[in-house]
Structure 1
Amino acid sequence: MRFPLTLAVCVTSSAVWADSAPQDQCLVKIPDQVRVSEQPLDETDPAIRVQADRSDAQTDAARFEGNVRLTQGARRIRTESAEVRQLEGTFSATGGLVYEDPSVVISADSLNADVDDNQARLDKAQYWLNGQQVHGTAESLQIDGEDSLLLTGATFTTCPQDDPDWLLEAKTIAIDAEEEWGQIWNAKVKIFDVPVFYVPYMTVPVSDKRKTGFLFPNISTSSKNGIDLAAPFYWNIAPNYDMTLTTQYMSARGLFLQTEGRYLQDWGAGRVNLEYIGSDRLVDDAPERWLLHFDHGGKLDENWRLYGNYTKVSDDNYFNDFSSSVQASTDNQISREGEASYYTDNWNAAIRVQDIEVLGDSEKPFQVMPSLSLNYHQPDLYGPVDFAFSTELTHFAHKRDNHLTATRWHVEPTLTLPYQAPAGSLTSELKLMQTFYEQRDPNDQLEDFVSRTLPQFRLHGQVNLERDMTYRGDRYLQVLEPQFQYLYIPYEDQSDIGLYDTALLQEDYYGLFRDRRYSGLDRISDANQLTLGLATRFLDDGNRERAQISLGQIFFFSDPRVTLGEEETMNRSNSALAADLQLQASDHWFLRGGIQFDTESGHTNKSELLLDYRLSDNRLLQFSHRYVPDLGTDVEGNSIDINQAGVRASWPLTDEIYFVGNWYYDLNLDRSVENYAGVQYESCCWAIRLAYHRHLNTNYDDVDFTTINPRDDFDSGVSLKFVLKGLGSTGPLGVTDMLNEGLFNYRKPYYLRN
C-alpha cells in the first residue's frame, strides 16, 4: 500500500529581515501540541509504519483506533481514528488530525484520501510552514498528485502572532508546487482586522523564486514634482531574464515610464534601461525627455573578456530632475565605453572605444575611437631583473566638425630590479617613454607630427620596523614604515602637443609616490625630486589594526616646468604636505582624516574629516567636514571654496521604531545644502516609513562655467512607504537605504586592515 500524502510545498515570502526585526523573533512558532514527534526519521525509508492502541483488520478494510501514528520517511500523521480500504484505494482519518513533513505542518478535523490517485482533502485545516513566517487556515485543503494545494475559504499571513496585524482572506488559493507560486482569487486584505482593499485576482511567491506581479507602490510629495505616485510591475520572463516596468505619475510634470530589463547568460550579464516622459510640464515648451542605457560585462572563454556601457539622455538636466537607477544626480558626466580584451599569463591585449559627455559643459571632450593596447610582463628576464613592455595606439576624434583630432602611439619598455626582505624593500626602475603624435589642427596652432622621447629613473625604498608597546595597560605592536622615492625625468617642451586625455592628479599621501603628475600621456612632467614618507600602524593583541598615520612630502631639486597651459610655472621647493589618519579609538569610535597643506603659503589645499560613533549597524552618529578651495569664481570674481559640515544619525527610538537623519551646511554661504529626516516603524510582518527631504537643486541651464552663480533653488518634500512583508514586496525597508538617501551617501570613516 502506498502512503497517500506526499506534501513538498514550501511557501515563503520575499522579505528579508532588517535590524529592527530580528529573524529569530519573526519566525512562526508552531504550537507544540500539533507536533507529531520530535524524533528524527529516515527520509529515505519507504516503508509505512503504523502504531495504534487498537486495530481491526478485515478483508477489505483495516481500522486503527486510539493514538494512531503513521510514518513514511520524513512524513508523519497523528490522529485518533484511521481507516484504510485496500480494494477501494482510500484512506480516511478523523479526530485531532495532524500531518507533518519537513516543509509544512497541517492540523485538520478530518482527512479523506484517494490512495491510487495520490489525492487528499483535509477539512477545517490550519497550516504552518516550517522555518518560515507563513501560516493560515482553510475551510478545505486539497492535495493533488503533483503535490499542489487548493485552499478554499483560506487565510494567509506572514505575521508570527496568532492575532496577526495583517491578514489576507481569499475565496480560493491555488499553490503550484512545481512552479512554486500561488494564485489568489477574490481576496481582501485586513490590517488590524479592518478591510483596506479588495483584489479580485493576485499572485504571490511561494518560494524564493522570482514571480511576476505588482510590487508595492511608492507615494511622495515634493515642491519640484508635486504628488508623486510610482507603481512598479515585475515580470519574471525566464530564469535568466526579468524586467521591471514602473509607471510613475508626477502631478507637476506628467506621466513618467521606466523600464529595466536584465539578462544573465554563460557569456555575460547586463541590463537595458528605457525611461520616457512625453511632455514635461515643468520645462518650457513641454519637451519629450528620455533615457537609454545599456551595460554588459562577461567573458567568451578563459581568455576573452567583453565590456560595454552606453547611456544617452535627452538633456543635461535629466538626472537632476528624475530619480534614475542608472546614475545619481551628483554625477556630472556620462561615460560610454566598450572594450574587448584578451588575457594570458604573460601578456594581454585590448581594443577600446570611449566617449565622455560632461553635462552642462559646452566644451566637449575628445572621443577615443579606438584605442589598441598591448602589455607584456616577463619576471626574472635576466637574473632578478624583471621586464615589462606596454604600447598603446589611440585615435582621438571629436563630435564637432573642423576640430582638432590626433593619433597617438606610445611605447614604454621597463626594466625593474626588485629586492624584497622582511625588513624592507628596494626597487630600481628604468623606463623609456617614446610617444608619436599625428595631429590634424584646422587652426594650424599645433605641429602636424610630434615625437617625444623621455627616459625615467625611479628608486623606491621602504623599511619595516616593529616594536612592542603598552598603552593604558593594553599591549600593542607598532609598525613603523619610513619610505623614500627618487624620481628623475628630464625636461622636454611639450607645448606642441594637444591635451586629449590629460588632467592633474591629486597629491594625497599615496599619490606622492606615483611616477606621474598627470593622468594620460599628453603631458609627462619633468622631475628631479625626492619624496619622503613615514607611516605607522598600531595592532592590538588580536592583530587588528587600530590606527594608521601617514605623513609625506615631495622635495624638488629643480622646479617642474611642464604644465597644462593654464597653470603658472611652479616656483617652489616642495609639494604640499600630505597627511592621512585612520583611527579606531575604541570599540565604538572611529576617525578618518586627510589634509594637503601648503607649507610655503600656509594654506590648506584640501582637507576631509569623518568621525563615527557606532554601537551597531543601525546605531550610529557621524560628524564630517570637507574643504576644497579655488574651485572657480563667483559672479563677483571671488574665489569659490567647498567648506561644508555635516551630521548624520541613525538611532532606534524603540525596538520597532528608528530614526535616520542628516544635515549638511555650507559654512561659506551660511545655509543648509541638504536636510533629510526619516522615521520608520518595522515589525515582523509590516513596515512604514515617513521621510522629509530638502536639498539644493542643480540646473545646468543657468550655470555659466566661467563663473559659479549662488543659487537658492531647493527641492523639498515628504515621502511615505508602506510594506506588507511577504505580499508582493521586494524586501522590507531598512537603515541602509535610508542612509543612502540624498546627495551625500553614508561612508564609513575607516578602512583599517584586519
Structure 2
Amino acid sequence: MLRPLTPPAKFSLHPLLLALGLAGASWAQAAAEPQPVELQAADEPLRLRPVRLLTPPGAPGQQSKPALVLSARALQAQVDQQAQAEGAVELRYGDLLLRADTLSYQMPTDLARAEGGVELSRNGSVVRGPSVQLFVDRFEGEFAQPSYFFSQTGGGGQARSLHFLGPQRLRAEAATYSSCPAVEPGQTPAWELSARTLRMDFEANEGLATGAVLRFQGLPILAAPALSFPLGSERKSGWLPPDVGLDKRSGFELGLPYYWNIAPQRDATLTPFVMTRRGVGLDSEFRYLEPHHKGQLNLAWLPWDRVAERKRWALNLANAGELGPGWLYRLQAERVSDDDYWKDLPKRISSPTQRLLASDLQLSRSRSFAWGEASSYARVQQWQLLQGTDPAARFESPYQRSPQIGMRLSTAADEGVLAGFIPWGRQARLEGSLELEYNRFDLPREALSSQLMTGERVHALGHVSLPMGGAAWWLIPKLSVNAASYALDRPLADGRRSAGRTVPGFSVDHGWILERQTRFFGRELQQTLEPRLLYVNTAYRDQSRLPNFDAAPKDFNFDSIYTENQFSGVDRVSDAHQLTAGVTTRWLESERGEELLRLGLVQRYRFRDQQLTPDGLPSTQKFSDLLLLGSAHLSQRWWLDGALQYNPDSGRNVRTSLRARYSPGAYRTLSAAYRLVRDQSEQLELGWQWPLFGAAAAREQTRSLNDAASGGVGCKGGGAWYSAGRLQYSLKDRRLTDSVVGVEYDAGCWILRMGAERLSTGRAETNTRLLLQLEFVGLSRLGSNALGVLRDNIPGYRQLSDPRSSNRSYD
C-alpha cells in the first residue's frame, strides 16, 4: 500500500507531456497552503489510492500509455529534463511499482536509477536489491545483487545480477531458484536450482538454466549443462523428470522421457527405459489435433525380455475425425505381443478389461429432416483375448462384428423420450423409430473350442409411441417389435441353418412429480414425491434354439427395472406381463437446490409366469425382489448412500451396497464401503487421506501476500505427514485384493510420496509395485506416478500442492 503523506507529494506525469518543474511548483504551493478537497474531512490527510493502474481519463476505447506517478519526502525537478527524489520514494507506472531511498529519473531517455532498499514489484512478482537502472516504459534494465520472487511460478531466489529484457523476459547471472521459504543467512533452502545463467521467457513459457545443478537438502541430485523447464501448465519441448518404478515382476525400472512439442496441434513423448530384470526398451506417444481429425498413438517396445526370452510390445490407437460432409469415423485399437503381457507390464495397457483388447473401426453419417433424423453406420470390431495357459482361467470370447451395417430413423425428440425425457407441457403426438441392421458374427482364434456357432443376422427394431404430459406428470404408451433372421455356418440342433422370430410388445410408462415446502432439522426444504408405474406386455417366443451373439442379462437395479426387456442386445427378448411400481422422495434445499436426502423403493409384479429369464429357468415368482435405495448429505462433512436387493420369498437380501464418506475439511477424508452379492462375493473397502502429525494446520492455509513478497511459500512452522490409501478385503476369500497404501510428507516447497500398490493378476497371483515420488513445488516431479495412483484410487483425494503449484496437472 502507498504510504500516506501530509501534505501530499504527488505527481501524475505522462512522459514528455507534463512538466516536472510545474508539478514541483504545485507541490511547494500545496505544502505551504493545503487546500481542502471536496468530500474530504478538513483534518484528514489526503491519501493516494493503492490501485494497480493509473491512467488519464479519456474517451472509451482510447488507448494511451499509463501515467507515471512519483512521490517522495523531498523532490527536485527540471522541466522536461529530470527529477531527483529522496526519502520513501515511490514510482508507479501502470502495474509497475518501484520503491527506494533515492531515485533519479531522466525524462528524455526514460531512465530511472534507484539506490538504497530498492524494491520493484510488477504483476505480483517482487525483486529487491541495493540498486537498479531501468528504462521504465520498455521495462529494460539491470538489478544489482537482487533477490526475487516470480508470481507466475511461485518461486524465487538470488543472483549476482538480473537483467530485464522486456515485460516478459529476463536473464539472471550466477542465479538460484527455489519455491522454499526464505532462510537465515548462510543456510540453503530444502531444494535449490543453481545455474551459471538463468533465462526466463514467460511469453514462450520457457525457463532455461545453463550450468544447472539441482540440490536437495544440500546434496546434488541432478546436474546438466543445460536444463529447460516450463513456467506454467503450457507445453514445452525438453527432458521430463525421470520415471522410476519397482515391482516384483520387472524389478527396478528407470525411464527418461523426452517431450517434443512438434507444433501447436502435435506433440510426442519418447521414453527410453531400463528394467533390471527384463532389459532395455522404449515407450512412445504421439498426439495430434487437426481441424477435422484428432488422435493418439502409443507404442511400447521391449526388443528382448530376458525373463520371457522373447520380444514384447504393446500398441494402442485412438483416432476420430470427419471424412467428408456429415461422415464421421472413429478408430480404437489395442494389441499386445503375448498372453502374459497384462501380468508382466500392466501399466502399458489402457483397456479397462486388461485380458480383452478391442479393435473397433466405426463410420457414421447423420442427417436431420423436418420429421426427424436419419443415420447410417458401418462397423468392424475385432478382439484379442489374453487367455494364458491356465485352463481354469480361460473365458468365453464375445463375438466379432465383421462387419456391422445399419440405418436408424427416428422422429423429432424421440431420442429424448427413450432416454427418460419428461415432456413438460408437450402436445401429444405420435413418435417412433426404426432400426435396420446386418451383422456378420465370427470368433477370434483365441476363443474356446466349445464356441462353435457363427453366422449372419438381419434384424429390425421399431416402435411407435404417443407421449403426453403436463407440468407434473407424463404418460407414454408404446408399441414395439423386435424381429431377427439368422443364416448360420453350422446347423442348429434340429438341422436348420436358417431361423427367425418376431416379438411384439406393448408398454405404458406413467409417472408424477409432486412438490411441497417443508422444514427438516430447522432448514427450509422442498420435498418431492415421485411415483412411477411401468406396465409391460411382451409376447413369448421360444428362443432357446436360436443363437445368442450379443445379448446379455441386464444388471438388476433401480434403472434397469424400468425397462421393457431384461436383456441388452438383440438376440434375446424376455416375455413379460408385469407391472413395475416404485416411488422416490427427495429433500432439496429451497435456495440452492442441493439434494440432502433421497429415499426410494421399487418392485415388479408378474401377472403370469415368465419363461425366458436371465438365469435360464422359468420364473413363477409373482413379486420380484424389492429394491431400496437411500442417500444422504445432511451436512457438509457426511455423505451416505446405499442400495439393497431383498428377496421376499427367502427373506434374505440378495445384494447390498453401503458407502459412507466423512470429509471434515481439506485433505481430510475417510470412506468406507461394504458390497455383498449372495453366493458370489463379499467385500469391505476403506479409503482415506488424513494428516498424521506435523504442521497440518499450516498446510491448509493458502499463500499470503507476505509469503509471496518474501519469495517463499509453504509451511513456515515445519512439515506435515499425511497418510493416504485404499484397502479392499474379500471376506469370502479372506485376503486383500487390489489395494494401495502410501504416506506423504508436505514440507511446503517439496512433497515426498511413498507407498505400495497391490494388484490381483489371477486367482492366487498378485503383483506388488512400490511407489516413490519427490515433487519440487513450482518446478517438477521426480520418480514414479504416485500422485496419479493415489488420485485414481482414493475417493475424495486432493493433491497437496494444489494451492501452490503453477502446474497442477496430473502425471
Per-residue deviation, 1:678: 0.9
Going from structure 1 to structure 2, the CA distance change for 1:140 and 1:418 (only over 3 Å counts) comes to same
What one-letter code is carried by the residue in structure 2 that aligns with 1:683?
A
Q: Does 1:388 align with 2:440?
A: no
Residue in 1 aligned with 2:422? Answer: none
Given the alignment of the two structures, is residue 354 of structure 1 paired with residue 392 of structure 2, yes or no? no
2:665 to 604, 608, 616: 616
Deviation readout 1:283-324 (Å, 9 max, x if unpaired)? 3xx222221111134557895543321111123332333242
Distance 2:737 2:789 in 1: 20
Q: CA RMSD in A?
A: 3.8
Structure 1 counterpart of 2:707: none
Partner residue, 1:341: 364
1:687–1:732: 8 Å Cα contact kept in structure 2?
no
Q: Which residue does 2:411 correspond to in 1?
A: 377
Matches of 2:359 and 2:570 in 1, distance apart? 21
Among 259, 277, 284, the residue aligned to 1:259: 284
1:464 and 1:92 map into 2 onto residues whose CA distance is 74
Note if contact 1:365-1:398 (Cα within 8 Å) is conserved in structure 2.
Answer: no
Q: Aligned in 2, Cα 1:200/1:527: closer, same or farther, shift over 3 Å?
A: same
User: Is 2:261 the partner of 1:236?
Assistant: yes
Which residues of 2 match residues 640-659 of structure 1 at below 5 A? 641-654=680-693, 655=696, 656-659=720-723
Residues 271 and 83 from structure 1, CA distance in 2 versus in 1: closer, same or farther, beyond 3 angstroms?
Answer: same
2:54 is matched by which residue type in structure 1?
A: D
Does the 8 Å CA contact 2:312/2:337 hold for their aligned counterparts? Answer: yes
- CA drift of 1:688 comes to 0.2
Candidates 746, 758, 762, aligned match of 1:682? 746
Using the aligned pairs only, state the percent identity. Answer: 26
Q: TM-score, normalised by structure 1?
A: 0.81
1:431 maps to 2:480: yes
Quickly say closer, same or farther: Cα 1:403–1:188, change in 2 above 3 A.
same
1:508-523 pair list within 5 angstroms: 508-523=557-572
Cα distance, 1:716 vs. partner? Answer: 3.2
Correspondence for 1:106: 127
- Name the counterpart of 1:40: 52
Please list, as runs of the form range in 1=range in 2, the aligned pairs for 1:274-289 lying within 5 A after superposition: 274-283=299-308, 286-289=309-312
Distance 1:54 1:747 in 2: 59
* Residue of structure 2 in register with 1:223 after alignment: 248
Which residue of 1 is the match for residue 777 of structure 2? 725
**Amino acid corresponding to residue 682 of structure 2 in structure 1:** N
Counterpart of 1:594 in structure 2 is 643
State the match for 1:12 in structure 2.
none
Name structure 1 gaps, 5 residues minimum: 5-35, 631-640, 699-709, 749-754
Aligned length: 687
In the alignment, what sits opposite 1:29? none
Listed one character per residue, the Cα deviations across residues 347-369 of structure 1 (whole Å, up to 9, x for unaligned) are 14133332344542464322221
Correspondence for 1:315 = 338
Distance in 2, Cα, partners of 1:307 & 1:563: 35
- Compared with structure 1, are the counterparts of its residues 64 and 174 closer, same or farther at alpha carbon in structure 2 (3 Å cutoff)? same
Equivalent of residue 601 in structure 2, options 547, 551, 567 = 551
Q: Measure, in 2, the Cα distance between the counterparts of 1:375 and 1:129.
A: 59
Match of 2:755 in 1: 691
Deviations 1:389-448 (A, max 9, x none): 221313223245896443333333322122323443222111233333333336786633
Contact 1:403 1:442 in 2 (8 A): no
Say whether residues 1:82 and 2:104 are aligned partners: yes
- Given the alignment of the two structures, is residue 489 of structure 1 paired with residue 538 of structure 2, yes or no? yes
Which one-letter code corresponds to 2:688 in the other structure?
A: A
Of 158, 163, 166, which residue of structure 2 is paired with 1:142? 163
TM-score by length of 2: 0.75
Partner residue, 1:154: 175
- Alignment of 1:367 with 2:403, yes or no, is no
The 5 A counterparts of 1:459-474 are 459-466=508-515
- 2:43 counterpart residue number: none
For the pair 1:577 / 2:598, whether they are aligned, the reply is: no
Distance 1:428 1:37, change over 3 A: closer
C-alpha separation in 2, matches of 1:539 and 1:113 = 60
Q: What is the SS of the residue equivalent to 1:320?
A: helix
Q: Which has the higher contact order (CA 8 A, sep 6+)?
A: 1
Q: Take 2:587 and 2:233, find their aligned partners in 1: how far apart are those partners?
A: 45
Return closer, same or farther for 1:160/1:303 CA change in 2, 3 Å cut-off. Answer: farther
CA 1:594–1:333 in structure 2 vs 1: closer, same or farther (change >3 Å)? farther
Seen in structure 2, the aligned counterparts of structure 1 residues 118 and 252 have a Cα distance that, compared at 3 Å, is closer
Pick which of 478-487 and 392-401 moved more.
392-401
Tell me, yes or no, if the aligned pair for 2:427 and 2:468 is still in contact at 8 Å: no
**Does the 8 Å contact 1:213/1:728 carry over to 2?**
no
Quick check: 1:216–1:723 contact (8 Å CA) kept in 2? no
Distance in 1 separating the partners of 2:136 and 2:469: 76
- Measured in 2, the distance between the counterparts of 1:473 and 1:117 equals 62
When residues 514 and 86 of structure 1 are mapped into structure 2, their CA distance, relative to the original with a 3 A threshold, is closer
Question: Equivalences for 1:622-633 in 2 at 5 Å?
Answer: 622-629=671-678
Q: Which residue of 2 aligns with 1:127?
A: 148
CA distance in 1, matches of 2:244, 2:345: 15
Distance change >3 Å, CA 609–CA 101, structure 1 → 2: closer
| 1:173 equivalent among 184, 192, 198 | 198
Counterpart Cα distance in 1 of 2:457 and 2:134? 81
Higher mean displacement: 378-387 or 423-432 = 378-387
Measured after TM superposition, the shift of residue 331 of structure 1 is: 4.4
Are residues 1:530 and 2:569 paired?
Answer: no
Question: Secondary structure at the residue paired with 1:653?
Answer: strand
TM-aligned CA deviation for residue 203 of structure 1 = 0.7
Change (3 A) 1:535 1:95: closer
Which residue among 77, 80, 84 is the counterpart of 1:64?
84
Cα offset, 1:520, TM superposition: 0.8
Q: Is the 8 A contact 1:82 1:94 kept in 2?
A: no
Cα displacement (A) at 1:594 = 2.0
Which SS does the other structure have where 2:560 is aligned?
helix
Distance 1:413 1:692, change over 3 A: closer
Compared CA separation, residues 329 and 499, structure 1 to 2 (3 A): closer
Checking the alignment, whether the CA contact within 8 Å between 1:387 and 1:413 is kept in structure 2 is no
Cα separation, 1, equivalents of 2:166 and 2:665:
49
**Alpha-carbon separation, structure 1, partners of 2:590 and 2:14:** 63
Change (3 A) 1:598 1:669: same
Q: How far apart, CA to CA, are the structure 2 residues paired with 1:330 and 1:539?
A: 38
For residues 591 and 90 of structure 1, the distance between their equivalents in structure 2, rounded to whole angstroms, comes to 65
SS, match of residue 145 in structure 2? strand
